[in-house]
Structure 1
Amino acid sequence: MTDSSPATDPAADFSPDDAEVIQEPRLWHKDGWTARVIKNEDDDGWAVAMIKDGEPEPALVGPWTMGRDKKNPKPLDTSAFNTLVKTASEVLRRHEQQLHAQLHKRMSVETGEGDVEVTLDIVPDEYEPYALLSALDAFGERIAQVRVAPNFKLTKARAQAWAEGGFGRVE
């Protein structure tokens, strides 16, 4: 009989932070990233794929340098790996910024009570996506909030009309 309690199960103590460091000529794994040198499907060259732990797709795929023999890829090294991590991290950061910009809009409108910030936050739910249109006063306190369609277009004119209409239901 085998005891599989957490105290004796080696897999129970494993976390991604404990992952071993791999430093092979075509495969490096360190600090949550994996660099894998792969054969380029389009030609005789090589490519490198950078994959963040837990992600199904590479964050970055790019050409890789041929070695001295002009046949095999140049081996990965510390400098190259660090540069690839920095580049792949920047790609992910820009993607997140772009997604945030698509899902969150903000503008200011003038009302009789002062300036009001109108925000549109899209909730990309897989089954029932929607958006929240909100009005915030000068102190950041929410004055009103209504649920709108996820394809609602927030424009200055629509925000102003919503404010002038008393922040009621939006069609």
Structure 2
Amino acid sequence: MTEPTFPPPDSATDLAEAPETLHEDTLWRDNGWTARIIKNEDDDGWAVEMIKDGEPEPALVGPWTMGRNKKDPKPLDTAAFNTLVKTASEVLRRHEQQLRAQLHKRVTVAAASGDGEWEVTLDIVPDEDEPYALLTALDAFGEQHAQVQVPANFKLSRASAASWVENEFRRPG
């Protein structure tokens, strides 16, 4: 039996130049994903990393099964690759949902005048140099009535939204 060959650890940059579809024992590239078996630095075993095309970092890194000789890794196959793609896609989806939840807040408040309800949203713009947020008021029909820029650390709550509406949408101080 021939020894399996492994891509060098620094070959992440080479992945962009790899063929679109590649099916090897320790490296699979297909459907916008690359699975690569790597040496597990934490122990004597193996790990697999899943990298979405165009991304600099793996979406998923997890343990990988040893082969029959208890020394080399089990080769990748279609079923394993498809499962890894599904799992890595779910990790990315959850990460995007979490990020969206951190950057977008929404509350509904009643107008003090009794004119109905306002939906007030806070959308944080995570600019590296000067992050900020947009505070927006939408009427009962979903039409934007007002929008102001506020600090990225502005705390949106029912009370702060109601205060903004009561102050006729003036920039909170």
2:122 matched residue in structure 1: 120
* Distance in 2 (alpha carbons) for counterparts of 1:127 and 1:102: 19
Q: What is the alpha-carbon distance in structure 2 between the residues aligned to residue 155 and residue 149 of structure 1? A: 15
**Map of 1:93 onto structure 2:** 93
Q: Which residue matches 1:70?
A: 70
SS class of match (1:49): strand
TM-score (norm 2): 0.87
TM-score (norm 1): 0.88
1:28-65 deviation per Cα after TM superposition (whole angstroms, max 9, x unaligned): 00011000000101110000000001100000000000
Describe the superposition over 1:107-143 as per-residue Cα deviations: whole angstroms up to 9, x where unpaired.
Answer: 1000022100000000111111110001000111111
Paired residues, number: 155
* Divergent runs of 4+, >6 A: none
Aligned equivalent of 1:156: 158
State the 1:20 CA deviation: 2.8
The letter of the residue matching 2:155 is K
Structure-2 separation of matches of 1:19 and 1:47: 23
Distance 1:25 1:19 in 2: 16
1:110 aligns with 2:110: yes
Q: Secondary structure at the match of 2:74?
A: coil
State the secondary structure of the residue aligned to 1:121.
strand
2:50 paired residue number: 50
Deviation at 1:19, TM superposition (A): 4.1
Residue 146 of structure 1 pairs with residue 148 of structure 2: yes
Provide the alpha-carbon RMSD of the alignment. Answer: 1.2
Provide structure 1 residue ranges, at least 5 long, that are not aligned to the other structure. 1-15
* Percent of aligned pairs sharing the same letter: 72
Which letter maps to 1:101?
Answer: A
SS at match of 1:122: strand
